[in-house]
Structure 1
Amino acid sequence: MTYHTSRRRLLGFASSLALTGALMTSGSLSQASTLPTTQQDGIETPSSDGLGVAPGQHFWDALALKPQTAWSRLREAFQWQAQWQADHRHPRVQAWIDHYRASPHNIVEITERARPWLAWITEQIETRDLPGEIALLPFIESSFDPRARSHMGATGLWQIMPRTGEALGLQRSGAWDGRLDVVSSTRAALDYIELQADQWYEGDIELSLAAYNAGAGTVNRARRIALSRGRPGHYWDLDLPAETMDYVPKLLAISAIIADPIRYGVSLPEIDEAPAFAQIPVTRALTLSEAARLAGVPQGQLAELNPGLLASRATPRQVRRLLVPAERAERLLAALETRQSPAGDGNPSIHVVQRGDTLSAIASRHAVAMVDLARWNDIQRLDTLQPGQQLTLSGR
């Protein structure tokens, strides 16, 4: 079994040399890796596509009654399942299927945590024409916990190491960590997987996934040894660290269970096909409490959607967008537009920077102290004002 990208895409990273040398590792133990190893010997239920066609009911009638879900859309994006079945199931994959199915409640718990992210991640996978199975990589890496941290320093849904994150452009500061931000880290992780597949492995995604786990240096050395011994040099031919030897089999195993949950006695949580969140641009300093109040949602819900925001305040200098529940996006946008009309238009709490404005002049115009205006808007340098930038005049 060897799986390749269906297209080749060259990604322009200014820091490609740094990226090539960076090592990535899952590090921390996920819930997936701590499931019991005893096998379940119960009788399997017959394979089913989950449509539940009643006697006398036509297949297409049942299909029409079943709306698309995040799970069904993900299954449509799977590219490896048919080949894996045709290859009579690699024993390492089957061993992990038995491992996971022994504790189906753990699968349900982890997939429940995928609720806010699964539909959006699947969209990104589809856009790149990558195998849908990769959308389940966070199951292996972090148990779909965006705040997961390993003792080795890997962080976030995709468990990105600091050095690799820097090479991928994921910014970090005392107020922001792009590795924790699901949107930024997902794009970076997929970029990294595609880049390595094209740069080192002629589009071989399995080898790229192995390198994602163990580092390209480790995989390349193992591959050279395999080739010197007359082996093809595919993932399944290599002698790799134990965790990496299990990495692709784990992904194929959980994908097989998601592909046919009824067969494996798993009841997946219902997740809508549409992404659960919307992205709102941050054009002025905005606290989570203010955003939550304007959107009409609990502040804790916004904090869960924005784990990269280490402080409770978003500023344009550090954060480009805020994630909010999709059904609340229009309300928040309307509220922000009302509050961000230029000074003099009936909204004294916001000033929209015009060309030629200085912080001193703005402070004088609105009778506030310049140091307060800078503090309220997290302005570190006086020459960083940009036309269209919105400044709060009250610190709220």
Structure 2
Amino acid sequence: MRRIVLTTLSFLAIFTAAAQTPRRTAQTDSILKNMTTASRFDTVAVPVIDKPLVFNQNYIYKLRLDSIAKTVPLSYNEYVQSFIDIYSRRKDMMGKMLGLSQYYFPIFEKALKAYNIPAEIKYLPIIESSMNPHAISRVGATGMWQFMFGTAKAYGLNMDNFVDERKDPIQASYAAAAYFRDAYEELGDWLLAIAAYNCGKGNVTRAMEKAGSRDFWEIRPFLPRETRDYVPAFIAAVYVMHYSNTHDIVMQTPAINYKTDTVLVNRFVALADVAKAINHEEATLFGLNPSYKKKIVNGTDQLPKRIILPRVEQVNYAKLFEVLNADIEVDKEIVLASTDDVRDLRKKGLANKSKTAIAKTNIHKVKLGQNLTIIANLYKVEVQDLKVWNNLKGTTVIPGQQLKVHGTVKEEAKAPLKATYITYKVKIGDTLSGIAEKFDGATVANIKKINKLTKASIQAGMVLKINKG
């Protein structure tokens, strides 16, 4: 009898243990296998979650991401989970993103649709700039979409002493959409195109060659450190924006919360005057039109400029009409901006040491009432240049302070360019945007048009015509 009882108890213990063990399916086995493979690679940049991806715990995140995914694949792994943990804890930040998305997402979606780009790309400005049109990175990337100076020029954005279109949510969104069209044509994968937006198509191509793969997660160890995190962060941002309620994230009402009208003007108009005419604060107008550096809209008959306004009440129509049709007294000379790419400025500094005429340095003593904008206009340079040359972290200067001012950008900008074609032989690793950045006045669109290219993909050995005029 004792032997029978012991045997029965042993059987029950085995049965109970088996019942408590999670049932493994082919799908969960596949996930665990992928985790094991991924863990062999670098995980220093992204924290590794403490618990494995098992059905009863984190598998729910994969199911949620699968339910969101449309065109861009929203993979789930420990890298993505780590950023979901980070963003879901930043409730204040993500609440602000939900609020800003009400105004900015329709702008992004319209531009992306125009180039047949997946709507999911609209979430990128969250991790790029927290949807701040005035964001500037430590190397000079500017605006919501964080365009570097050279890439911005290559995609047709204009930067001069009146305007920086990288800060224009509308113009910059169309330029970003054009970039993604070209990146996808060249790379054939949306996650690779997103990675290229962060580190350049050349870096992604080289990583693909080293890894012998076209899968982002396989080439990830060969990409720059920031880019390894960039794609997982994007996927996590998409997840948190969709499942904000699940993580107790509450949408915050944004400062820009208006129904708007758009007008085109062919005069030089001050935003302050427009604001007064429609009974709004100047800050409101500048918030809606962040690309106008001097808060002056420099419209002309040849090139009218856009002003976005809060919905205007009928009683203010006459005052607004009067302001929009009266030129203000201001120096109307347009001076093309010089690069604000810190890396290019450093290279220029080294190159200019051997050229006395260009290396000439002026010392400006700040006078009472002057600020960086006034000083920059005086020497025909950019505020960003002054900040870099003088190691200024902010924009505050005081009377008596001495500032270094290099070169004469005005003369360089006005130097005539010959409207002639030159030829360029494509090298291994070249991209259209990279080639456009090498030549003044060249853009991706112009190169494609001149060479009758229907796609952005190019091959080593091709000879392209470049219009420098």
The TM tier, using the shorter chain, reads 0.5 to 0.7
Q: Is the aligned partner of 1:124 residue 2:111?
A: yes
Which of 227, 237, 261 lines up with 1:254 in the alignment?
237
- Name the structure 2 match of 1:181: 168
Task: State the AA in 1 paired with 2:142.
Answer: T
3-state SS, counterpart of residue 166 of structure 2? coil
Which of 92, 97, 100 lines up with 1:105 in the alignment?
92
- Name the structure 1 match of 2:377: none
* 1:225–1:255 CA distance, 2 compared to 1 (3 A): same
- Name the structure 1 match of 2:280: 297
3-state SS, counterpart of residue 262 of structure 2? strand
3-state SS, counterpart of residue 187 of structure 1? helix
Structure showing greater radius of gyration is 2
CA drift of 1:329 comes to 8.1
- Name the structure 2 match of 1:322: 307
* 1:339–1:258 CA distance, 2 compared to 1 (3 A): closer
Aligned equivalents of 1:261, 1:312: Cα separation in 2 = 36
Which of 168, 182, 187 lines up with 1:201 in the alignment?
187
3-state SS, counterpart of residue 328 of structure 1? coil
* 1:306–1:179 CA distance, 2 compared to 1 (3 A): same
Give the structure-1-normalised TM-score: 0.60
| TM-align CA RMSD | 3.6
Q: Is the aligned partner of 1:376 residue 2:329?
A: yes
In the alignment, structure 1 segments of 5+ residues that lack a partner are: 1-35, 48-75, 341-348, 351-372, 382-396
Aligned equivalents of 2:315, 2:264: Cα separation in 1 = 14
User: What are the superposed Cα offsets for residues 83-114 of structure 1, whole Å, 9 maximum, x if unpaired?
Assistant: 53xx6x22221221112112222211344344
* 1:207–1:333 CA distance, 2 compared to 1 (3 A): farther
* 1:137–1:90 CA distance, 2 compared to 1 (3 A): same
Which of 203, 224, 231 lines up with 2:209 in the alignment?
224
* 1:245–1:38 CA distance, 2 compared to 1 (3 A): closer
- Name the structure 1 match of 2:344: none
Whether contact under 8 Å (1:178, 1:308) holds in the other structure is yes
User: What are the superposed Cα offsets for residues 275-331 of structure 1, whole Å, 9 maximum, x if unpaired?
Assistant: 843321122121112211222221110011111111122121476101222x23877
Q: Is the aligned partner of 1:281 residue 2:264?
A: yes
CA drift of 1:265 comes to 2.3
CA drift of 1:153 comes to 0.7
Percent pairwise identity: 26
Whether contact under 8 Å (1:38, 1:102) holds in the other structure is no
- Name the structure 2 match of 1:66: none
Aligned equivalents of 1:77, 1:249: Cα separation in 2 = 15
Q: Is the aligned partner of 1:170 residue 2:157?
A: yes
User: What are the superposed Cα offsets for residues 116-138 of structure 1, whole Å, 9 maximum, x if unpaired?
Assistant: 32232233334444322211111
Q: Is the aligned partner of 1:210 residue 2:195?
A: yes
CA drift of 1:259 comes to 1.6
3-state SS, counterpart of residue 175 of structure 2? helix
Q: Is the aligned partner of 1:236 residue 2:217?
A: yes
CA drift of 1:80 comes to 4.9
* 1:220–1:283 CA distance, 2 compared to 1 (3 A): same
In the alignment, structure 2 segments of 5+ residues that lack a partner are: 1-46, 51-56, 61-66, 335-469
User: What are the superposed Cα offsets for residues 17-46 of structure 1, whole Å, 9 maximum, x if unpaired?
Assistant: xxxxxxxxxxxxxxxxxxx9999xxxx9xx
Aligned equivalents of 2:106, 2:258: Cα separation in 1 = 5
Whether contact under 8 Å (1:111, 1:144) holds in the other structure is no
CA drift of 1:258 comes to 1.5
Aligned equivalents of 1:106, 1:270: Cα separation in 2 = 12
Aligned equivalents of 1:141, 1:133: Cα separation in 2 = 14
Whether contact under 8 Å (2:111, 2:170) holds in the other structure is no
Aligned equivalents of 1:269, 1:183: Cα separation in 2 = 23
- Name the structure 2 match of 1:54: none
Whether contact under 8 Å (2:167, 2:291) holds in the other structure is yes
Aligned equivalents of 2:181, 2:202: Cα separation in 1 = 17
Task: State the AA in 1 paired with 2:251.
Answer: L
Whether contact under 8 Å (1:286, 1:314) holds in the other structure is yes
User: What are the superposed Cα offsets for residues 184-215 of structure 1, whole Å, 9 maximum, x if unpaired?
Assistant: 111111111111211x113x222111111001
Give the structure-2-normalised TM-score: 0.51
Aligned equivalents of 1:131, 1:258: Cα separation in 2 = 16
Whether contact under 8 Å (2:49, 2:81) holds in the other structure is no
Q: Which one has more relative contact order, counting CA pairs under 8 Å at least 6 apart?
A: 1
3-state SS, counterpart of residue 293 of structure 2? coil
Q: Is the aligned partner of 1:266 residue 2:249?
A: yes
Task: State the AA in 2 paired with 1:324.
Answer: L
* 1:331–1:190 CA distance, 2 compared to 1 (3 A): farther
Q: Give the length in aligned residue pairs.
A: 272
3-state SS, counterpart of residue 246 of structure 1? helix
* 1:77–1:377 CA distance, 2 compared to 1 (3 A): farther
- Name the structure 1 match of 2:353: none
Aligned equivalents of 1:339, 1:145: Cα separation in 2 = 29
Aligned equivalents of 2:269, 2:294: Cα separation in 1 = 11
- Name the structure 1 match of 2:365: none
